[in-house]
């Protein structure tokens, strides 16, 4: 069963006399029905997706961010990355897919072989594949992902992150954002 939408109830009114068939019918009708409410909710979801406010991957994510431990190694993640339009220099926030290669233990992992300082525990080495269609070479980078940036409701913060849809049961990789064709990835953020 599904819950009916809430109705405006007239409080404190008393009934005078008995109800006839017409009064019973009027009282039983509702201003909204479940089908109408569902149709409006689906239309709002489509509007939000079309406007780039949210997407269907957002709703499939677990509520809590995964732990930064060895279980994360090998998982595909999407990271919200800042791209800049090559012609207009307009910034665009685009989800980029990559794979966790390593999670820093806080004892021995360094940003590079020549680095002196050890990375803090929980930093992830995130690698992305080459994408010749968008003129992007493969690469990897240490990222400091924060649990508070897990699966945001708005797509505005650089380094927001979530599981790639394939980690959640999707068969295909997410469709590449067509804006990438005209953009370059900002590497210094």
Identify the top-confidence range among 29-38, 53-62, 75-84, 124-133: 75-84
- Residue 3, pLDDT score: 63
Q: Specify the pLDDT at position 5.
A: 61
Query: What's the average model confidence in pLDDT over 36-49?
Result: 83
Please check the confidence at residue 1 and state whether its pLDDT lies above 70.
Answer: no
Taking only the tens place, the pLDDT of each residue in 62-83 is 999 999 999 999 999 999 988 8
Average pLDDT, the chain: 82
3-state SS, one letter per residue, for the chain: CCCCCCCCCCCCCCCCCCCCHHHHHHHHCCCCCHHHHHHHHHHHHHHHHHCCCCCHHHHHCCCCCCCCCHHHCCCEEEEEEEEEECCCCCEEEEEEEEEEEEECCCCCCECCCCCCCECCCCCEEEEECCEHHHCECCEEEEECCCHHHECCCCCCCCCCEEECHHHHCCCCCCCCCHHHHHEEECCCC
pLDDT at 32 over 70: no
pLDDT bin (cut points 50, 70, 90) of residue 129 is: confident
pTM: predicted TM-score of the whole model, two decimal places? 0.67
What is the average per-residue pLDDT within 115-129? 92
- With a cut of 70, say whether residue 13 has pLDDT above it: no
Strand partners, 91: 84
Query: pLDDT higher for 167 or 51?
Result: 167
Residue 94: pLDDT band (50, 70, 90) is confident
Question: Average pLDDT, stretch 115-133?
Answer: 89
* Cβ–Cβ < 8 Å for 153, 48: no
What sign results for the dihedral spanned by CA atoms 89, 143, 139, 174?
Answer: negative
pLDDT band of residue 150 (cuts 50, 70, 90) is very high
- pLDDT of residue 2 exceeding 70, the answer is no
């Amino acid at each position: 069963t599904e819950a009916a939408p809430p109705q405006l109830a007239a409080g404190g009114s008393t009934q005078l006399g008995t109800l006839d068939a017409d009064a019973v019918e009027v009282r039983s009708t509702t201003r909204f029905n479940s089908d109408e409410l569902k149709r409006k909710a689906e239309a709002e979801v489509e509007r939000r997706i079309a406007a780039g406010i949210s997407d269907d991957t957002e709703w499939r994510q677990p509520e809590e961010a995964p732990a930064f431990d060895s279980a994360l190694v090998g998982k595909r993640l999407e990271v919200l990355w800042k791209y800049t339009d090559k012609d207009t220099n307009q910034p665009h926030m685009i989800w980029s897919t990559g794979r966790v290669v390593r999670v820093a233990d806080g004892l021995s992992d360094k940003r590079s072989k020549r680095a002196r300082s050890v990375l803090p525990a929980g930093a992830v080495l995130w690698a992305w594949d080459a994408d010749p269609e968008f003129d992007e070479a493969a690469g990897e980078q240490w990222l400091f992902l924060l649990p508070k940036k897990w699966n945001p409701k708005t797509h505005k913060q650089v380094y927001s992150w979530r599981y790639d849809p394939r980690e959640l049961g999707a068969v295909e990789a997410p469709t590449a954002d067509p804006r990438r064709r005209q953009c370059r990835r900002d590497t210094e953020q």
